[in-house]
Structure formats: structure tokens, C-alpha cells
Structure 1
Amino acid sequence: MSAPRVLVLAKAPAPGRVKTRLCPPCTPEQAARIAAAALADTLDTVTTAAAGSRVLVVDGDYPAPPGWATLTQRGDSLGDRLANAFADTRTTGTPAVLIGMDTPQLAVDHLDAARRLLGTAGGPDAVLGPATDGGWWTLGLRDPGHATVLRTIPTSTATTGRRTLAALRRRGLRVHLMPRLCDVDTAADARAVATLCPPDSRFARAVAAELPLPAPVAR
């Protein structure tokens, strides 16, 4: 079996199109700079981790790092875009691990663990990383064809992760749960995740520079 392919599903960080739940307190431009930092840190981590190949699956125009492939997202719903990312990069005998751009605290160890699990004979058929908001931050599949289940699962809900796990198990897959991580959606999320990143990371610096401090509580 080939080493897993890593897919990063991302949206080009243009003002008004990314991290809109940060507005307010951010302006659209500030939110876009925070999103750009999250994406850049994520790409750096994936570049450093071992992988058979790396693909940036992007909505919009954003340059992939050297050595990466680029694929345009395809589909109307997020579920379709996720499923199509797996389908459009599928190679027989090659597992795939998909992550988004909303967990800049992602570490190489997370990806190495997924790679080892999917590449080990007798290991799980899938790895799923639950997110604290009820979704998931990563899905890895020994056979990417199983990603078709994502087309019918509502996304961005408090039950998305649970429904995804149930759908995979209904297909008879053995699923290993990865550590739970926090996605960056709100200002509170951004501040919490920044504390989990190295202080000199792009994301930590962007949050410190771009995210306005909460207003003092009146007494």
C-alpha cells in the first residue's frame, strides 16, 4: 500500500469570503489576514510531515507550496466538495487524509499518527478527528471511495461528527478516533487556538495583531 496522500481543503483568504464569524469584532480584512495565517501554518505543517503526495484543494486562487498539486474544489454543498476532493484525487491502493484550514494548531505528530494507522496492515479503515463544535477536523480513509457517505451528511452542525462516524461504521469500517481539536470559527476560538500554537507562528501573531481585544466589562 502506498503512503497516504494528504489533502488540504481550503478557501482563498479574500475579505468577505472567509472567517465571516469573526466579524465583528474583526473587519473583513482583519478576518482574511487571520485566515491567511491559519492556512499558511497548516500548509507548513503538512509540508513537513511525511506523505506520499500533497494536494491543495482550493476554492479560489491561492498558490500551493512547491511540490504540491492543486485541485479546484467541485460541488455546490460542502458535503459534495469534501466527497469530490477524495474522488478526484483517488488512486487505487493509496489512502487519503483530508484536513481543513481551520486548525492551525495541527502538529506533524497528528498527521504521522494518521499515516501510521492507515498504512499498517490490520489497522483501521478510517481515522476521524472530532472537533469541539461537533464537526470533524480530519478524515482519513484507507479506501477514499468511502467518502461518498459525506454527500448526505449535514455539515456545520453539532451532530456532523457523530453522523459521520455512524455512517462510516454502517459501511462496516473500523474507525480510529483522533484527538479532539478546536476549529477556528469565532473570536473566542481564535484566541483559544492561538494559545496552542507556537508564539512565533503566523496564526498566533495574526490573532495578536488583528483581533481586537474584548471591550472591558462596565462596573
Structure 2
Amino acid sequence: MTAPRVQLLLLAKTPLPGRVKTRLCPPCTPGQAAAVAAAMLADTVEVLSAVPAVRRTLVVDGDLAAPVGWGRRPQRGDGLGARLAAAFADTAVPGVATLLVGMDTPQLRIGHLVAAGAALADSAAVLGPAQDGGWWVLGLRDPSMARVLVDVPMSTSDTGAATRAALRDADVATLPTLRDVDTAADAWAVAAACPGGRFARTVAELLPAPAGATS
């Protein structure tokens, strides 16, 4: 089957001190954590902007403006599951599949998203697991399937498995596992694995890793 037409959603939070990446503090200050988050977001926007798509939408918590050429939707709903479901519902386009990612995986590459879109040719959904038990991408051929996310416990070690279970009537393809950046250990490991971007440079400047901290 031919790969479906795809739109891209980026679920993000405006990188303000004290509101983002608080688990980086310490060793970061709130301002440094916000700078790391801004770098993660910038790297992710750059990748999504390079992936062929029907359209790209920033689904944002806060007043952050959309990148040039992107659409913008505010997050809405009580809890992350509700906000995710609303993001899919608010941007749905008939006949267009949806891939949603967050800003926590700055190691994301074009190939990851191309593979996700291609998987939707043969599967109703695609899920990219995260090392912490969550997921870094959810793709749905029919965005209305996202309504099940309202009842999925989020930010737990079982979120990925619970999401897959909630999509029980769908054939769910699986992508490679990526590591979310939540803690300093995550930041050091991901920066070491992808040294070329804004994120790695910002980590090197603001959060230098001690010896042996990148495993």
C-alpha cells in the first residue's frame, strides 16, 4: 500500500524558567533548564520542517509563536491524555494521517519520521517507545482514534504499553526506542549520542558532564 498523506504535530511547552525541564534542577538553574528546553525545541522544529508533510502544527502550552510556515493551536484539556486527544481532534484533516511528537527527544532525525509515515501504509497506528516506558511518537491513520488517550495514564513507566492496549482494535507498528531528556543523566547521554545540534552545544555550555556520566 502507498504511504498515506501525513501531517506533523509538535506538542510543546513554552520554554520559561520554572515551567520546563524542572527535573534538570539541580544541577541546572531554572534559567539554564529553560535554555536546554529551548534548544531541544529548536532542534525538533528543524527536523520536522525538513520532513515532507501536508502541514505542520505547533500545539503549544503558553504563548510561544509558531515557526514560519507552521500552523499553531493552543493545548486544551485537563491532563496530558486529554491534551493529546484534543491535539489530534483539533487538527484532523479528512484523508490525512497524523504523526505527533513532543520536544523531549532532540536526537529525532528525519528518517525516524519518514519511517513512521511509511509504517502507516500497512498499520492503523505507529508507536515509538521511549526508554522510560512512554513514547516519543504516535501516528494514527485516522486521528479520531486518539480519543482513547483520555483514559491512558500518562508519564508512567506503563504509558507506552497502556497506549498500545487502548488501541486494541488497531494494528500498531513499532519504531525504534528513543531516550527522553528529563534528567541530567538523560541530557548527557543524548548530547553524547547526537553532538551536532543546538541541544548538544547548549548542554556542553550549561551542563558539562562529569566523567563517566554519558552511559
Task: Pick the TM interval, shorter chain.
Answer: over 0.9
Q: Could you give the per-residue CA deviations for residues 64-107 of structure 1, whole angstroms, max 9, x where no partner exists? A: 22110011000120110000000000112111000000000000
Contact 2:58–2:71, Cα closer than 8 Å, also in 1: yes
2:172 corresponds to: 175
CA distance in 1, matches of 2:34, 2:60: 15
Match of 1:189 among 186, 190, 205: 186
The reply on whether 1:95 has 2:92 as its aligned counterpart is no
Which letter does structure 2 place at the counterpart of 1:12?
A: T
Residue 167 of structure 1: how far off its partner (Å) = 1.1
Partner SS, residue 195 of structure 1: helix
Tell me whether 1:139 sits opposite 2:141 in the alignment: no
Distance between the aligned counterparts of 1:48 and 1:187, measured in 2? 28
Q: Tell me how far apart the structure 2 counterparts of residues 8 and 212 of structure 1 sit (CA, whole Å).
A: 28
Residue in 2 that maps onto 1:207: 203
Contact 1:42 1:106 in 2 (8 A): yes
Residue pair 1:51, 1:115 contacting (<8 A) in 2 also:
no
- Asked if the contact 2:188/2:209 (under 8 Å) is kept, the reply is no
For residues 15-37 of structure 1, the C-alpha deviation after alignment (integer angstroms, 9 at most, x for no partner) is: 00000000001000000000000
Which secondary structure state, in structure 2, belongs to the residue aligned with residue 37 of structure 1? helix
Shift of the alpha carbon at 1:63?
2.1
Gaps (5+ residues) in structure 1?
A: none
CA distance in 1, matches of 2:32, 2:209: 13
Q: CA–CA distance in 1 between the matches of 2:78 and 2:18? A: 19
Which digits, 9 at most, give the CA deviation of each residue in 1:97-151, with x for residues without a partner? 0000000000000011111222x2xx00000000000001100000000001110
1:128 and 2:127 aligned: yes
Aligned equivalent of 2:5: 3
Q: Give the fraction of aligned pairs with identical amino acids, expressed as a percent.
A: 60
CA contact (8 A) 1:26 1:212 kept: no
Q: Which amino acid aligns with 2:49?
A: T
Deviation of 1:184 after TM superposition, in Å, equals: 0.4
Q: Which residue of 2 aligns with 1:71?
A: 73
Equivalent-residue separation in structure 1 for 2:93 and 2:63 (angstroms): 25
Give the structure-1-normalised TM-score.
0.92
In structure 2, the partner of 1:108 is: 110
Indicate how the Cα distance of structure 1 residues 12 and 59 shifts in structure 2: closer, same or farther if over 3 A, else same: same
Preserved CA contact (<8 Å) 1:25 1:212:
no
CA distance in 2, matches of 1:100, 1:213: 24
1:200 CA displacement = 3.2
SS of equivalent residue, structure 2 residue 193: coil
Q: Which runs of 5+ in 2 are unaligned?
A: none
| Alpha-carbon distance between aligned partners in 2 of 1:200 and 1:127, rounded to the nearest angstrom | 28
Moved over 6 A (4+): none
**Structure-to-structure mapping, 1:138-157, within 5 angstroms:** 138-157=137-156
CA apart distance, 1:2: 5.6
